[in-house]
């Protein structure tokens, strides 16, 4: 077993740097305006190559969630959750919900991104919106 | 039927054991190859096309071709994870149609149990340099996670229940009890599945496929050769494959790419989904089967839960016999790649050589669908339509 790792390809560096600053930026297509995730050289909507790193609001809703009971990584000790979040800018991302958990289904709950240390790196987490 | 087929599956063989601590990968590849050739009534000297995945030790096809003394005109190492071998059947048929080979050998063998590897044909294929891994790794997602994400969302959108998912495993166990080689031959109940430990909520241990050593092989050949052999004639009449990814964060995680490959393969075969008598459907997890059945068109989207419930997939009981060897959930998932065994059981059914307790009467048309990679992220579904020629 080992720690989970982040991707640090050419496309990903600006995203992780923005996460370090506590304000995640994603690529926004210069032609159609679509945000995309994960970072990539082309827009999924119109395949345009020009994009601008643009700060996202960090607001979104939970699309799905899971709770791990089995250990897969040294740095993620069960019980821990992973949530798929549809950002208000459009694309969905994966994060982990911290703090209060919803009663019953988590799907559709409003969340916002917060930032914190994990395994020696800064990454985002989600918390339920007030 | 007057339609022509370019290729026939003349040989199929599944290695009998599920744990191979004392054999090498090359030995297992070789035993699988020779088994399929013997089944077809052909010899190693007849093979002029070779298809393998990264489970074959060495460099692409070279090491096993060398080891088996293959004299090749054509080879292909397409790797789409578990669906590779299903893709290989279609690629072999294309090569045969193009005159590039006459007798194609497709092999799979692996030892994840003996080697202590729970996933992947290669050692830890979760390469952090894989460009699309942002979705999974940093946030503790492994493999099961994305299937569990899809299951949870499917439950939300369509009211699918854990009990309905459990029925997929229950059906597999009903079939596996008749398979003397199956890893798990005990009948299980819905209650046992939903009360088994959660691995990644909402999926339980018994929602997951087995980890097994072993493998199998197939022989695909041209019509003249197939008809010269003494085996029942099973021919490929339709095939389709696709890739599906995250699409920049705009993906429906409850729909697989089988929504495209199923209709495309059926159209090529000029048959309707309702004509299918037997289906081999990739069963890495229970949710995998349920989503594919919907996407292939066996039932409407969202109706998978009702379709599989109450023995819906049990041969002779339900609406559609699925994975009558016990599938990956109970029988075999060799090398953590299920595409090969899916084809093998479809061939058994079409030949009338499945276990009598699970044999579909008059089985003349079968569908095989494999999901390579992972649902809810990048995967490469591949569909085959196979027909028994009278």
Residues B347 and B286 in one domain: yes
Alpha-helix residue ranges (DSSP H) falling in B198-338: 223-228, 258-269, 286-296, 304-308
Strands of the sheet containing A35-36, edge to edge, are A35-36, A25-29, A51-55
Residue A93: phi and psi, rounded to 5, are: -130, 170
Confidence of residue B124 (pLDDT cuts 50, 70, 90): very low
Sign of CA dihedral B150, B205, B368, B317: negative
The domain spans of chain A are 13-128
CA atoms within 13 A on the CB side of B234: 30
Q: What pLDDT sits at residue B157?
A: 98
Residue B104 lies in a domain: yes
Q: Does A122 touch chain B (CB under 8 A)?
A: no
Classify residue A1 by burial, with Cβ atoms within 10 Å: 0-12, 13-18, 19+: exposed
The total domain count for chain B is 2
Bridge partners (DSSP) of residue B280 are: B368
Query: B275 with B340: CB under 8 angstroms?
Result: no
Q: Does B156 touch chain A (CB under 8 A)?
A: yes
Read off the CATH number of the domain in which B328 is found: 3.40.47.10
Lowest mean pLDDT among A73-82, B27-36, B85-94, B359-368: A73-82
Q: What pLDDT sits at residue B136?
A: 75
Which class is A13-128 in CATH? mainly beta
Residues B147 and B277 in one domain: yes
Residues B160 and B265 in one domain: yes
* Average pLDDT over every residue of B211-238: 97
Where does a domain end: B180, B202, B236?
A: B236
Query: B138 with B126: CB under 8 angstroms?
Result: no
Where does a domain end: B181, B202, B236?
A: B236
Report whether pLDDT(A76) > 70: yes
Collect all residues of chain B within an 8 Å Cβ-Cβ radius of residue A73: 140, 142
Lowest mean pLDDT among A24-28, B57-61, B123-127, B140-144: B123-127
**Other CB atoms within 10 A of residue A57 CB:** 12
Nearest by CB to residue B249, choosing from A67, A90, A96, is A90
Residues B156 and B266 in one domain: yes
Residues B67 and B164 in one domain: no
Q: Residue-wise over A4-13: b if at least 16 C-beta within 10 A, else e? A: bbbbebebbe
Q: How many CB pairs under 8 A join A and B?
A: 127
Nearest by CB to residue B152, choosing from A65, A68, A95, is A65
Q: Does A94 touch chain B (CB under 8 A)?
A: yes
Q: Could you tell me which of B155, B166, B209 has the C-alpha nearest to residue B374? A: B209
Residues within 8 A of A (CB atoms), B 239-278 only? 246-251, 253
Cβ <8 Å between B141 and A94: yes
Q: Does B116 touch chain A (CB under 8 A)?
A: no
Name the residue of chain A whose CA is nearest to B196's CA.
Answer: A69
Q: What pLDDT sits at residue B120?
A: 45
Q: What pLDDT sits at residue B126?
A: 59
Q: What pLDDT sits at residue B128?
A: 65
Q: Does A66 touch chain B (CB under 8 A)?
A: yes
Confidence of residue B252 (pLDDT cuts 50, 70, 90): very high
Report whether pLDDT(B45) > 60: yes
Q: Could you tell me which of B12, B116, B114, B107 has the C-alpha nearest to residue B60? A: B107
Where does a domain end: B186, B202, B236?
A: B236
Report whether pLDDT(B224) > 50: yes
Provide the greatest CA pair distance for chain A: 44
Domain holding B313, by residue range, is: 141-210+238-389
Report whether pLDDT(B121) > 50: no
Residues B159 and B191 in one domain: yes
Q: What pLDDT sits at residue B137?
A: 76
Residues B230 and B268 in one domain: no
Q: What pLDDT sits at residue B156?
A: 98
Residues B270 and B224 in one domain: no
* Average pLDDT over every residue of B142-159: 90
Q: What pLDDT sits at residue B3?
A: 67
Q: What pLDDT sits at residue A11?
A: 86
Residues B345 and B292 in one domain: yes
Residues within 8 A of B (CB atoms), A 22-61 only? 34-40, 43-45
Residues B275 and B225 in one domain: no
Residue B27: phi and psi, rounded to 5, are: -60, -45
* Average pLDDT over every residue of B242-249: 93
Confidence of residue B143 (pLDDT cuts 50, 70, 90): low
Residues B172 and B75 in one domain: no
Q: Using the structure block, give the residue that is written with the tokens 């089995």.
A: A70
Residues B54 and B151 in one domain: no
What distance in Å separates the CA atoms of residue B294 and residue B305, rounded to the nearest whole number?
9
* Average pLDDT over every residue of A22-37: 97
**What is the tens place of the pLDDT at every residue in B270-327?**
999 999 999 999 999 999 999 999 999 999 999 999 999 999 999 999 999 999 999 9
Confidence of residue B119 (pLDDT cuts 50, 70, 90): low
Residue B134 lies in a domain: no
Report whether pLDDT(B381) > 70: yes
**Other CB atoms within 10 A of residue B282 CB:** 32
Q: Tell me the nearest-neighbour CA distance from B271 into chain A, angstroms.
A: 34
**What is the tens place of the pLDDT at every residue in B340-368?**
999 999 999 999 999 999 999 999 999 99
The residue ranges of DSSP E strands in B149-244, in sequence order, are 198-201, 203-204, 214-221, 233-241
**What is the tens place of the pLDDT at every residue in A86-111?**
999 999 999 999 999 999 999 999 99
Q: What pLDDT sits at residue B123?
A: 43
Report whether pLDDT(B142) > 90: no
Residue B135 lies in a domain: no
Q: What is the mean pLDDT of chain B?
A: 94
Query: B271 with B45: CB under 8 angstroms?
Result: no
Q: What pLDDT sits at residue B132?
A: 73
């Amino acid at each position: 077993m080992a720690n989970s790792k982040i991707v640090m390809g050419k496309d990903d560096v600006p995203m992780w740097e923005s996460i370090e600053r506590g304000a995640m930026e994603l690529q926004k297509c210069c032609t159609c305006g679509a945000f995309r995730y994960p970072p990539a050289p082309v827009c999924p909507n119109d395949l345009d190559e020009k994009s601008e790193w643009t700060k996202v609001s960090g607001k979104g809703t939970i699309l799905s969630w899971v709770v791990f009971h089995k250990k897969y990584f040294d740095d993620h000790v069960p019980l821990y959750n992973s949530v798929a979040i549809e950002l208000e800018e459009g694309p969905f991302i994966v994060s982990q919900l911290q703090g209060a958990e919803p009663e019953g289904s988590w799907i559709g709950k409003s969340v916002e991104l917060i930032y914190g240390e994990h395994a020696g790196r800064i990454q985002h987490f989600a918390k339920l919106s007030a | 039927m007057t339609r022509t087929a370019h290729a026939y599956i003349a040989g199929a063989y599944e290695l009998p054991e599920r744990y191979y601590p004392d054999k090498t990968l090359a030995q297992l590849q070789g035993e699988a190859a020779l088994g399929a050739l013997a089944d077809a009534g052909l010899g190693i000297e007849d093979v002029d096309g070779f298809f393998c995945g990264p489970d074959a030790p060495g460099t692409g096809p070279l090491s096993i071709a060398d080891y088996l003394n293959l004299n090749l005109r054509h080879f292909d190492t397409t790797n789409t994870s578990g669906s590779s071998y299903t893709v290989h059947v279609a690629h072999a048929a294309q090569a045969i149609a193009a005159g590039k080979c006459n007798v194609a050998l497709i092999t799979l063998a692996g030892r994840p149990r003996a080697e202590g590897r729970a996933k992947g044909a290669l050692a830890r294929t979760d390469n952090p340099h894989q460009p699309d891994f942002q979705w999974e790794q940093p946030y503790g997602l492994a493999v099961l996670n994305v299937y569990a994400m899809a299951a949870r969302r499917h439950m939300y959108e369509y009211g699918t229940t854990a009990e309905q998912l459990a029925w997929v495993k229950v059906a597999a166990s009903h079939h596996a009890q008749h398979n003397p080689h199956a890893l798990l031959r005990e009948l299980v109940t819905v209650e046992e599945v939903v009360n088994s430990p959660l691995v990644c909520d909402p999926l339980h241990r018994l929602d997951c496929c087995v980890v097994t050593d072993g493998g199998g092989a197939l022989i695909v050949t041209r019509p003249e050769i197939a008809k010269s052999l003494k085996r029942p004639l099973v021919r490929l009449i339709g095939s389709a494959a696709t890739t599906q990814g995250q699409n920049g964060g705009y993906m429906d995680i409850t729909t697989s790419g089988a929504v495209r490959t199923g209709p495309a393969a059926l159209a090529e075969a000029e048959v309707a989904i309702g004509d299918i008598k037997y289906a081999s459907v990739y069963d890495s997890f229970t949710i995998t089967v349920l989503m594919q059945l919907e996407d292939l068109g066996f039932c409407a989207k969202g109706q998978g839960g009702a379709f599989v419930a109450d023995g819906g997939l049990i041969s002779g009981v339900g609406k559609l016999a699925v994975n009558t060897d016990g599938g990956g959930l109970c029988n075999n998932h060799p090398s953590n790649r299920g595409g090969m065994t899916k084809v093998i059981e479809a061939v058994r059914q079409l030949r009338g050589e499945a276990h009598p307790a699970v044999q579909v009467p008059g089985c003349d048309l079968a569908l095989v669908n494999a999901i390579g990679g992972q649902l809810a992220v990048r995967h490469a579904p591949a569909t085959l339509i196979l027909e028994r020629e009278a």
